[in-house]
Amino acid sequence: MKKSVVLLSSLVVSAVFSVAQAQETVRIGAITTLTGRLAEFGAQQKAGFELAVDELNAKGGIGGKKIELVLEDAASDVNKALAAAEKLANSGVGIILNEYSSSIVKPVAQFLSRQKVPNIVVSSSDESITKPGFDYVYRINPPTDEYAKILFEVFKDKKIRSVAILAGSGAFEKSVLNSAMEQSKTLNIPVVASQTYDKGLTDFRPILNGFKAKNPDAVMLVGYQEDSVAVMRQAKEVGLNPKVFAGGAAGFALPDFIKGAGSASEYVVTATAWVPEMGSKQKALYDKLSRKLGMAPTYHAAQAYAAVLVAADAIKRAGSSTDREAIRKALDSTNLQTAYAPVKFQNYEGYKNQNKVGMVAEQVQNVGGQLVFVSVYPRKLFLKNRMLFPTPAWDKRN
């Protein structure tokens, strides 16, 4: 009997302590991929989340309460992501930051909307996530329309007359492909060939040889890191030699693309959502994220950083970290300047709760004997960075 009383007392004390601890912190839920094939993106997001939390806590948190990031691993798997979302929703957090991969984010966003949990999409770009959208889903990053727009603006500027497109069959890749097809019609730049491929394909040479026969001015590629490296290496093998290779962000915007593809990456132009050359605030954030990551940060880290600031701002204005309806209403009136971009959720052109923000383009260039990303477009922002695919001949890419 005494043992039972002692055990019960311990459980009561533990429960009281847990409740008190929860009351002393403001909890923000987050889901990202820390393991599996998309872990590189998750590492970037985690760094952005944590840096923002650390900075806010150093300034006193929210209303004097420290922010606690409750982070769950989606493990590159939609079912695990849904389990993580259910766990966070049941834990009582008032808002959740939602993942990277479009194939994972959309079902998670739909689930959280049914549970009436506000969630911020951090880096996923599939158009259908916010078009037509859901009442409880807010996206800070641009949809795939913007990925295609920036690349086709480059094509128009450089007088590209035909394009071939290779894209993966995932939700993000197909959405970029659809957006590219629309831009093709709008700007009258014909798509002479388009091909999708399933995850796991390793030999792209038959497709690339088919593109070579079409002799397009540009080849646009949309895929993740492993695919981006394989495609460019094999394009070099088969001698596919357009005026420009253009990547639809994702794997083409990562440091490991250059590392893996080596000389085959030189002159590739890619869409991206954030670069340090945009301004002093962006450069300062870039430097802080670089120190935290131990390598160059990508736009995914900057978007994650901004998402925490947006969530904290909404919680502060809502006057509660657990009242989900109050937080949702606060998100509706968000108007925040961040070192990623301004954030204001709008309904426009069929989008719902979408931050209206564009993209820029960068190019892999040889600077001082080292291949690096250099911001090149729009020209009005990056006038000093003149190179934009001079000659693409493979015999000049040693």
User: How do the residues of the chain divide into helix, strand and coil, expressed in percent and rounded to 5?
Assistant: 50, 20, 30
pLDDT in tens, 316-329: 999 999 999 999 99
Q: Are the CB atoms for 169 and 162 separated by under 8 Å? A: no
Could you give the CA distance from residue 351 to residue 19 in angstroms, rounded to a whole number?
39
Pairing of strands 137-139, 96-98: unpaired
Q: Which of 35-39, 79-83, 112-116 has the lowest mean pLDDT?
A: 35-39
Asked if pLDDT for residue 302 goes beyond 70, the answer is yes
**Tokens (6 digits) for 42:** 């998750």
pLDDT, residue 383, reads: 57
Angle in degrees, CA 223, 167, 163, rounded to 5: 120
Task: Examine the pLDDT at 10 and tell me if it is beyond 60.
Answer: no
Class of domain 145-272+368-396: alpha beta
Q: Does 378 sit behind a cis peptide bond, omega within 30 degrees of 0 on the bond before it?
A: yes
Radius of gyration of the chain (CA): 23
| Whether the Cβ atoms of residue 350 and residue 360 lie closer than 8 Å to each other | no
Mean pLDDT within 347-368: 93
Residue ranges per structural domain of the chain: 2-142+279-355, 145-272+368-396
Is there a common fold for 2-142+279-355 and 145-272+368-396? yes
* 299-318 and 39-58 helices, crossing angle to 10°: 40
Cα distance between residue 170 and residue 183, in whole Å? 20
H/E stretch holding 34 reads: none
pTM, whole model, 2 decimals? 0.85
Question: What pLDDT shows up at residue 5?
Answer: 47
Q: How many residues does the chain have?
A: 398
What is the three-class DSSP state of 298?
Answer: coil
* 336: helix, strand or coil: strand
- Could you write out the DSSP letters of every residue in 272-292? ES--GGG-HHHHHHHHHHHHH
When pLDDT is cut at 50, 70 and 90, the band that residue 13 belongs to is very low
- The pLDDT, as a whole number, for residue 278 is 86
Sheet containing 345-348: order of strands: 66-73, 25-32, 96-98, 119-121, 137-139, 351-355, 345-348
158 pLDDT more than 60: yes
For the domain 2-142+279-355, what is the CATH code? 3.40.50.2300
- Is the model's pLDDT at 15 over the cut of 80? no
Provide the 10 A C-beta neighbour count for residue 280. 9
Mean pLDDT of 37-66: 95
pLDDT attached to residue 396: 42
Q: Is the pLDDT of residue 87 over 60?
A: yes
Mean pLDDT of the chain: 89
Confidence of residue 293 (pLDDT cuts 50, 70, 90): very high
Name the least confident of 19-23, 39-43, 50-54, 219-223: 19-23
Q: At residue 392, does pLDDT exceed 80?
A: no
Q: Are 48 and 28 in contact (CB under 8 A)?
A: no
The confidence score (pLDDT) of residue 75 equals 95
pLDDT(17) > 80:
no
pLDDT given for residue 381 in this prediction: 75
Each residue's pLDDT tens digit, 91-122: 999 999 998 888 999 999 999 999 999 999 99
* Alpha-carbon span 211 to 240, nearest angstrom: 8
Average pLDDT over residues 279-295: 95
Per-residue pLDDT tens for 231-254? 999 999 999 999 999 998 788 988
Write down the pLDDT at residue 199.
87
Q: How confident is the model at residue 67 (pLDDT cuts 50, 70, 90)?
A: very high
